[in-house]
Every structure is written in structure tokens, then in C-alpha cells.
Amino acid sequence: MRNTRLLVLLVAIVAIGVAAMGAAPRRPKPITFPKNFLWGAATAAHQVEGGNYNSDWYQWELGGHTKDRAGLADDSYHLYDTDFSLAQQMHHNSHRLSIEWSRIEPSQGVWNWAEIKHYRDVLKAAHDRGLKTMVTLHHFTTPIWVTDQGGWTNAETVTWFAQYTARVVLGLGDLVDYWLTVNEPNVMVLTGYVVGLTPPGKTDLKQGVQVLANLVKAHAKAYNIIHDLIPSARVGFAHHMRVFEGNSWWNPLDALLAVFIDDFWNSQILRSLKTGHLKLSIPFLVDYSEEVPGMKGALDYVGINYYTRDLIKFDLGSPQKFDIMTKVDAPHNDLGWEIYPEGMYKSIMKASSFGWPVYITENGIADAGDTMRRQFLCDHLKQVSYAIDDGADVRGYMHWALIDNWEWILGFAPRFGLVAVNYDTQQRTIRPSAEILSDAAATNSLRLCK
């Protein structure tokens, strides 16, 4: 009897020990990042510059489809040096920004050299502040002269984008450290051609898939042009990745659909760039296949924009459609997006399984009260470090955004900035939570995160 009790006690002690080992942190403190890691934040031309009146988005605003008009936005067209000083003050060593096609080529074949000179000044100012530059060539806005001719549904746009790219490389190439061709082709297509909330406001999946194909081709063409002109260039695109899961654990159709959507949304563009064969598919919904010359391997790194997770609900009543929901019993940001840090790890592992290095090109939170951003930053950066531990070659993290800015159809209300902006005065104030990223940048570690 006594022996049995002793044995039970021993087993219990061992079990507790094993459980405690299992609960141990994944890596010893402090968490550190690889040498030369890029630390910074991102912006996009139309969201911060102000005075952009020559693109489809401006027309969309005039059409009353957005909560506010971008107008002067953050006036970063003039205040860029102030912005970069703030980044420098926060110990950032890099900055992602976009340049506006409709400024550089205001009408077809007409090149505005003053604007190219302006962007030279901007990029030089960034370098002067110790910031490596990551430049996006297309961040959602398209010149009116392009959209007047069919926009991204027109295959010619791929050529026009390539011509614009060549001019930019010749004009700015010496000042660009990292290139991003297009921002979030999947989001552009979903919002502009499937749900119709952004320009051109279409609800035509078939056309959307053609546009997605054109955007991928535009990326590949731009990739090759940049490399022809600057062989050592580093060229990626900003890929919006999300986690998709079935809405009901007991419904296998939800889970199966989530698998298809996940593959379409997160993996198919990357796979196509790997193989050179552009294949986009969701059973019964999307089926596109084309061999694209020059596309195989047209990527030096994957830029990941990661924000949240979605739950997919299959609709038996109309199987061609499905609902996208958010997990109710979970934390959410001011816009109702679920805060799901593990999704950062999952997205990185998925992207890096294709063999390219990864940079986080966007990740952030709408948090006007600045009550959640601290934890958000720690939790997401930890997930980045876990992915690195598990073999992913992650080389940088750019937070969305450096400053509050105009958030497309949602206008000025969402506050994503490390820096708060008073739009009446253009006064910029660093938010307390920005300290997490500043300290990470200064020490290349997460010593402020518990």
C-alpha cells in the first residue's frame, strides 16, 4: 500500500515536471534578432502625401465612396523630413514608402521630371536619417489615363507599368535599397473587382481573376526590368497573407473551403512565381492557367503584410458564395479585426516554405486609444522570432504605419500610427507604445516584452 502511494507520488511529480517543461517559454530571454535586421515602418503615397488628384482613388473619393477625402492627408509631400526624423528618433534603420505613378507619368508617355526630382529628395532625406529605403511602385492607386483605357483589366497596362518602372529605376534606382513592385494584388482584386468597395467598384470575379493575373505579370515584368538595369537589386512584392479556418469545427465543408481559399489567397501567387506557370484556382469558382515567359523565379524576397484571421462559412443554399466571419470570443482592434499573433508565425512559415527570404512589410493595429499596440507589437514580434527559430529567413519588420494616415474607404478615423497625427495642425506625437519597436530597433531584441 505504502509502495503504491509512493509510486503515485513519483508519477505525479514526474508528470508535473513534464508539464512545466512543456509550458516553458519557447526561447530563453531576451529574444534577439539576426544581424542587419531591418526595423522600420511603412506608409503609402496616397495615404500620407496629400494633393494627389490624378488617380482612380481621387475619382473614387469624388464619387462619394469614401468616408473622408484624402485631401492634404498628412502633408507628407512637404513634411517627409519631419516624418523621417521621427523614424530616426525611434531608432528605425529602414522605411517603406510608395511613389505615385500618377505624379510621375501624369498622362500617357509624359514624364514629370520635377516629381522624379521630388522623390530623389525624399529618398535622399531618408538616407540622411539613416534609413534604408524600401520603395513600392504601385500601392493601390492607378493613374486616370490608365483606368480610362480599362485599367488593370487591359493587358496593355502591364506594358505601361513596365515603362513606368524603367523610368523610375533610371531616375531613382541609386537611392532605392529594396523594391516592392505591387502592393497586395489579392486585396486589390477582392475589394475592387469582387466586392466592389474600391475602384473600379466591380463585382465580377472572372474579371477580377484576369486582373490578378495581370498584376502578377506586371510584377514579373517589373522584376526583370529592374534586374536588367540593376543586377544586384532586391525585388519583391507586398503579399497580403491571412489565416483562414473553418467557421464551425463540426462542419467539414467549412474546413475544406477554408483550405481552398487559403491556398488561393496565400500560396498560389508564390507558387506561380516559383514554377513560372500562373495557376489560380478555387474548385468550382476560379480556374486560370497560363505559362508566363520570364516569370519563373521572378522574386528575391516575399514581403508579407499580416493583420488577421478569417473564419470561412460554407453556404449550402448558394455553394458559389461563402461568408467570411471573425472569431467572436477573441480580442479585436478598433475595426473589429481579430488580433491573432500566431497567424504571423503561420504566414511566415507558409511563405518561407517556397524558399525565399521574408520581410514583414506591414503589420499593425487600428488602436486610437493606444491601449493595445504595446501588447500587439510584443506578441507579433515574438511570433516573428519563433519563425526564425524554426528556420525561416526573416530579415526585417516594417510596422503599419509610421504615422496615422488616410485609410482608404474608412477615411481618417482608424489610427494605425506609431505616431499620432492631429490633422488640423499636422502636429505629430510619438505614441507611448512606439517604445516597444524603438527599443527593439535600438537593441535588436525584445527586452521590453515580458
Instruction: Give contact residues for ligand GAL (rule: CB under 6 A).
Output: 44, 47, 183-184, 187, 240, 305, 362, 400, 407-408, 416
Structural contact between residues 205 and 193, judged by C-beta atoms closer than 8 angstroms: yes
- Shortest CB 337 distance to ligand GAL, Å: 9
Nearer to ligand GAL, 254 or 404 (CB): 404
CB of 305 to ligand GAL, least distance (A): 6
Count of CB atoms situated within 10 Å of the CB of 100:
25
280: enclosing H helix or E strand: strand 277-282
Q: Least distance from C-beta 414 to ligand GAL, angstroms?
A: 7
Provide, rounded to whole angstroms, the least separation between the CB of residue 183 and ligand GAL: 5
- Min CB(403)–ligand GAL separation in Å: 12
3-state secondary structure 86-142: HHHHCCCCEEEEECCHHHHCCECCECCHHHHHHHHHHHHHHHHCCCEEEEEEECCCC
Q: Which is nearer to ligand GAL, 193 or 386 (CB)?
A: 193
**Between 84 and 400, CB nearer to ligand GAL:** 400
Residue whose C-alpha is closest to residue 66's, from 437, 376, 413, 409: 409
Distance CA 129, CA 87 (A): 8
The residue number with the shortest CB distance to ligand GAL is 44
Nearer to ligand GAL, 268 or 405 (CB): 405
Say which residue the cell 519583391 belongs to: 236
Residue 57 CB, shortest distance to ligand GAL, in Å, is: 11
Q: Which is nearer to ligand GAL, 66 or 183 (CB)?
A: 183
The burial class, CB within 10 Å (0-12 / 13-18 / 19+), for 20 is exposed
What cell was used for 327? 472569431
Which cell goes with 277?
506557370
Q: What is the largest CA-CA distance in the chain?
A: 94
Nearer of residues 187 and 436 to ligand GAL, judged by Cβ: 187
**Nearer to ligand GAL by C-beta: 262 or 404?**
404
Distance in Å, CB of 136 to ligand GAL, minimum: 9
